[in-house]
Chain A
Amino acid sequence: MATLARLQARSKSIAQQYYYRNSVVDIFRKKENDAAIKIQSWFRGCQVRAYIRYLHRVATIIQKRWRGYLGRQQYQVIVKLAYYTMKMNLYNAMAVRIQRRWRGYKIRKYCFNYYYLKEYLKAVSETNDAIREALEEFAEMKEREEKKADLEREEKERDYQARKMHYLLSTKQIPGIYNSPFRKDPDPWELRLQKAKPLTHRRPEVKRKRSICLSDWLACTSARSFPRSGILPPIDRKRCQGPFRDISEVLEQRYKPLEPTLRVAEPIDGLTEARAQLQKQEWARNVNDNMFLPFSSYHKNKKYVPTMHLSSKYGPDVYGTQHFRDENPKRWICNKDFQTVLPSFDLFSKYGKMYSKAGQIV
């Protein structure tokens, strides 16, 4: 309490003192405050600047490091790339070398073999020559054939002409037009005429009936198989020396017409054919087959009716009408020969009807 009282006692002075002091301070307060602020601001400015400077320094260090790192990295990449390109260039160059060699080798070996090509071309030209020659030969052959055919045709024509003009041949008395007496040699046509045979008169052509009869067929085959010369074989040929037959005989044998046997000469269906022909004729003549009967004799038209005996299924009874044994054979046998039914041989039938050389009857 004493303290309180003391304090209370003192409070007045304290208050006074407080007031006084405050009033003293108040005079400088603003100034001091301003000064303090100035000092503070300066200081703080220095402090912050220093800090910022510090920060900048640090940032530069960081940037330096980072940039250095990045740069190194890029450098690495560039170096790698450069190395790679260099390497690849080298490789490519080497590859080109290898390829060049290989391709050259391959082409020379397989595709464009110079020697092979040379050889091939040589072979081609050889074939060409061969073909040309062969074709030439072929053409020549053809031409020759043609010429020959031409010549033959001409010769034939001239022959025919000669035969046609045979009447111009000179005789012993009268020289022909080709055998002028004023010339030294006769014309070549004269010789040709001498050789030629005169043309025979043309026979009026008989229209041949077309048929399929066997004899015709045979005739046509014989025409095909045997040479038929238009002119007869020469008569006045000299006899050959040696044990040969007479020429005429041989020729006759050679050129005799085909003489088929009776069995072959007649067609197998001759009967039917003849019947057909007959029918055709009758049809052409158009005559009624049935007998023409006048009405007056109508009763004759009646059909004959056989008796029962005769019309039996088993035929007529032979008993009593036929004799099986002849009692008088002499009556039927005579001393004459049988008459032949078959046609006689040509030789015999013509015997005595032909003329010999001398004109006598053989």
Chain B
Amino acid sequence: MSQRQVLQVFEQYQKARTQFVQMVAELATRPQNIETLQNADIIAVIQTAITYGLYIFMHSLTKDQSPWIPNGQTGVMALLRPLLLDVVPTIQQTAALALGRLANYNDDLAEAVVKGDILPQLVYSLAEQNRFYKKAAAFVLRAVGKHSPQLAQAIVDCGALDTLVICLEDFDPGVKEAAAWALGYIARHNAELSQAVVDAGAVPLLVLCIQEPEIALKRIAVSALSDIAKHSPELAQTVVDAGVIAHLAQMILNPDAKLKRQVLSALSQIAKHSVDLAEMVVEAEIFPVVLTCLKDKDEYVKKNASTLIREIAKHTPELSQLIVNAGGVAAVIDCIGSCKGNIRLPGIMLLGYVAAHSENLAMAVIISKGVPQLSLCLSEEPEDHIKAAAAWALGHIGRHTPEHARAVAVTNTLPVLLSLYMSTESSEDLQVKSKKAIKNILQKCTYLPALEPFLYDAPPNILKHVVGQFSKVLPHDSKARRLFVTSGGLKKVQEIKAEPGSLLQEYINSINNCYPEEIVRYYSPGYSETLLQRVDSYQPLTN
């Protein structure tokens, strides 16, 4: 045999490997293939092992039989693993890519990657190899880490964080992006993992990544920072200390919608923790600028912008006041009107938070025409949790003074709230929220036309408040007294069955005291009979 023939064999071998890896990587892009790949038959595994003559593979076969032979799973996994150590860079990269795609699919496969001891060699080569390989390896880490905190912890235990952080310093934006992405996915699970990411020194480098010109890199880095900041005030403070807020505030006006989404989400994650952080976000002069995002075409930009405003407003009355003064409430109300479903939710909650702080702020919400919008949400939204939020917000708006309650009552919201409370289809949370809202509003409401329908169709626990309001208003208002009789309210009140000595009975008595005895008797239930009896027993005077 000549030298050339020998070389040809090797060449064929290499070609076959490449092809195998490429095919697996390609197959892994389709979800329907994953099952098959996952359950690849053990015989096929051995056959291919023989075909490719992978001594490393055989070695691994003999070394750790237990994890995969009994269930016959992780077939492709075991094949790909030695290929990660291949001498040819292309094969390595493609193997990593295939692994990443497999691990991306579900957490079983990701766990198989972890159990197969693939991570340490990935991490090792992450530091050594060229940029393509780095990208692929970071992709695998990301795909593994995204499923559960345990898997992410496994990645951290391999010491991947340090190498990923080194990758953040790479020249290639693609590598940076992949590393930032992996770090973000690791940090998003819980506070400990985020703390580990922070301890690895990722934050300053992520901040540098934000300042890069590539939009994709910016996006990923901002999202990673948002994931880090979302867990605890300390982590958010760390992120803020790295000077993120100024950069984020500048990027709000970026035309790229996806970047805007991430930026707004990051800002809201920072602002949500404490008053100080929220004030720092406000001090970056985001205010009139964020409002333009509420008019964006992208729905999620709108949602995140409202979330940001909500997170700022919820802390103190002063911050809410600032938002009101900047016209934020009006913008949010417009935004609520222009979208549907879950995107409305943060806006609705914002109105509730602002109104809950003080009566002046609630008044500001009312004059910004927030109440009609909320009642619209209440009636037209199909989902219970949004309705519950709207009910909650309305309750907070109406609970301050009679003026507020009147503003809520004139939009005809109370019957809707009552029907939500009474409906058996509405969730428990919605029932509780709407009941509370009704109670809060009723206790301040002196607008009798709105109260009157409640006399007829309210359950006793709400009727109590309604009658109480009547008993407070009627003694002082003669016109209302007259109207109360003519509209049949007094009759209805007489019909109410109240236990003697209860609060309801007291209220009824105080209402009755406002009227002459005859009329009260006239409207009492058994009066006609007694009258007839009197007719019967009456002896006419006969001359």
Residues in A lying within 8 Å of B, measured CB to CB = 117, 120-121, 124-125, 127-132, 135-136, 138-139, 142, 146
- Rounded to whole angstroms, the CA-CA distance of A136 and B294 in the bound complex is 11
Closest Cβ–Cβ distance, residue A148 to chain B (whole Å):
15
Residues of B within 8 A of A120 (CB): 360
Residues of A within 8 A of B295 (CB): 135-136, 138-139, 142
Residues in B lying within 8 Å of A, measured CB to CB = 288, 291-292, 294-295, 297, 324-331, 334, 360, 363-364, 367-368
Contacting B368 at CB < 8 Å: which of A117, A125, A136, A142? A125
- B330 near A121: Cβ-Cβ < 8 Å: no
- Rounded to whole angstroms, the CA-CA distance of A200 and B294 in the bound complex is 47
- B368 near A128: Cβ-Cβ < 8 Å: yes
Closest Cβ–Cβ distance, residue A252 to chain B (whole Å):
37
CB nearest neighbor in A for B334: A132
Residues of A within 8 A of B292 (CB): 135, 138
- A125 near B360: Cβ-Cβ < 8 Å: no
- B326 near A127: Cβ-Cβ < 8 Å: yes
- B367 near A132: Cβ-Cβ < 8 Å: no
| A135-B291, A138-B295, A139-B295 known; A128 vs B327 contact (CB < 8 Å) | yes
- A131 near B331: Cβ-Cβ < 8 Å: yes
- Rounded to whole angstroms, the CA-CA distance of A120 and B325 in the bound complex is 9
Contacting B363 at CB < 8 Å: which of A121, A129, A138? A121
- Rounded to whole angstroms, the CA-CA distance of A118 and B368 in the bound complex is 14
- A128 near B363: Cβ-Cβ < 8 Å: no
| A128-B327, A128-B329 known; A121 vs B364 contact (CB < 8 Å) | yes
- Rounded to whole angstroms, the CA-CA distance of A136 and B327 in the bound complex is 13
- B291 near A131: Cβ-Cβ < 8 Å: yes
Closest Cβ–Cβ distance, residue A58 to chain B (whole Å):
64
Contacting B327 at CB < 8 Å: which of A127, A142, A146? A127
Shortest beta-carbon contacts, A-B, top 9: A131-B327, A128-B330, A139-B295, A127-B327, A124-B364, A135-B295, A125-B367, A128-B368, A128-B327
| A135-B291, A135-B295, A142-B297 known; A130 vs B327 contact (CB < 8 Å) | yes
Contacting A132 at CB < 8 Å: which of B324, B326, B331, B360? B331
- A135 near B294: Cβ-Cβ < 8 Å: yes
- A117 near B360: Cβ-Cβ < 8 Å: yes
- Rounded to whole angstroms, the CA-CA distance of A118 and B295 in the bound complex is 29
Indicate the member of A124, A129, A136, A139 with the most B CB atoms within 10 Å. Answer: A124
Residues of A within 8 A of B367 (CB): 121, 124-125, 128
| A124-B364, A128-B329, A142-B297 known; A135 vs B324 contact (CB < 8 Å) | no
Closest Cβ–Cβ distance, residue B532 to chain A (whole Å):
56
Residues of B within 8 A of A117 (CB): 360, 363
Residues of A within 8 A of B368 (CB): 124-125, 128
Residues of A within 8 A of B288 (CB): 131
- Rounded to whole angstroms, the CA-CA distance of A132 and B294 in the bound complex is 11
- Rounded to whole angstroms, the CA-CA distance of A149 and B328 in the bound complex is 30
- Rounded to whole angstroms, the CA-CA distance of A146 and B295 in the bound complex is 14
Closest Cβ–Cβ distance, residue B372 to chain A (whole Å):
14
Residues of A within 8 A of B360 (CB): 117, 120
7 A–B contact pairs at CB < 8 A?
Answer: A128-B329, A132-B331, A135-B331, A138-B292, A138-B295, A142-B297, A146-B297
- Rounded to whole angstroms, the CA-CA distance of A117 and B363 in the bound complex is 10
CB nearest neighbor in A for B330: A128
- Rounded to whole angstroms, the CA-CA distance of A138 and B253 in the bound complex is 12
- B330 near A132: Cβ-Cβ < 8 Å: yes
Residues of A within 8 A of B326 (CB): 127, 131
Residues of A within 8 A of B294 (CB): 135
CB nearest neighbor in B for A146: B297
- Rounded to whole angstroms, the CA-CA distance of A158 and B354 in the bound complex is 52
- Rounded to whole angstroms, the CA-CA distance of A146 and B331 in the bound complex is 22
- Rounded to whole angstroms, the CA-CA distance of A135 and B297 in the bound complex is 13
- Rounded to whole angstroms, the CA-CA distance of A129 and B331 in the bound complex is 9
- B364 near A135: Cβ-Cβ < 8 Å: no
- Rounded to whole angstroms, the CA-CA distance of A132 and B335 in the bound complex is 10
Residues of B within 8 A of A121 (CB): 363-364, 367
Residues of A within 8 A of B327 (CB): 127-128, 130-132
Residues of A within 8 A of B364 (CB): 121, 124
Indicate the member of B294, B330, B331, B334 with the most A CB atoms within 10 Å. Answer: B330
- B325 near A124: Cβ-Cβ < 8 Å: yes
- Rounded to whole angstroms, the CA-CA distance of A292 and B308 in the bound complex is 80
CB nearest neighbor in A for B369: A128
Closest Cβ–Cβ distance, residue B282 to chain A (whole Å):
17
- Rounded to whole angstroms, the CA-CA distance of A302 and B103 in the bound complex is 69
- Rounded to whole angstroms, the CA-CA distance of A137 and B439 in the bound complex is 41
- Rounded to whole angstroms, the CA-CA distance of A131 and B324 in the bound complex is 11
- Rounded to whole angstroms, the CA-CA distance of A117 and B367 in the bound complex is 12
Q: 5 more A-B contacts (CB under 8 A) besides A121-B363, A124-B367, A128-B329?
A: A128-B367, A129-B330, A131-B288, A132-B327, A132-B334
Residues of A within 8 A of B334 (CB): 132, 135
Closest Cβ–Cβ distance, residue B279 to chain A (whole Å):
21
- Rounded to whole angstroms, the CA-CA distance of A252 and B52 in the bound complex is 64
- Rounded to whole angstroms, the CA-CA distance of A129 and B329 in the bound complex is 11
- Rounded to whole angstroms, the CA-CA distance of A129 and B326 in the bound complex is 11
Closest Cβ–Cβ distance, residue A135 to chain B (whole Å):
5
- Rounded to whole angstroms, the CA-CA distance of A108 and B255 in the bound complex is 49
- Rounded to whole angstroms, the CA-CA distance of A128 and B373 in the bound complex is 15
- Rounded to whole angstroms, the CA-CA distance of A136 and B295 in the bound complex is 8
- Rounded to whole angstroms, the CA-CA distance of A253 and B407 in the bound complex is 75
CB nearest neighbor in B for A145: B255
Closest Cβ–Cβ distance, residue A68 to chain B (whole Å):
52
Closest Cβ–Cβ distance, residue B403 to chain A (whole Å):
11
- Rounded to whole angstroms, the CA-CA distance of A336 and B385 in the bound complex is 103
CB nearest neighbor in B for A127: B327
- Rounded to whole angstroms, the CA-CA distance of A131 and B330 in the bound complex is 7
Closest Cβ–Cβ distance, residue B317 to chain A (whole Å):
14
CB nearest neighbor in B for A121: B367
- Rounded to whole angstroms, the CA-CA distance of A27 and B330 in the bound complex is 139
- Rounded to whole angstroms, the CA-CA distance of A129 and B334 in the bound complex is 11
Residues of B within 8 A of A146 (CB): 297
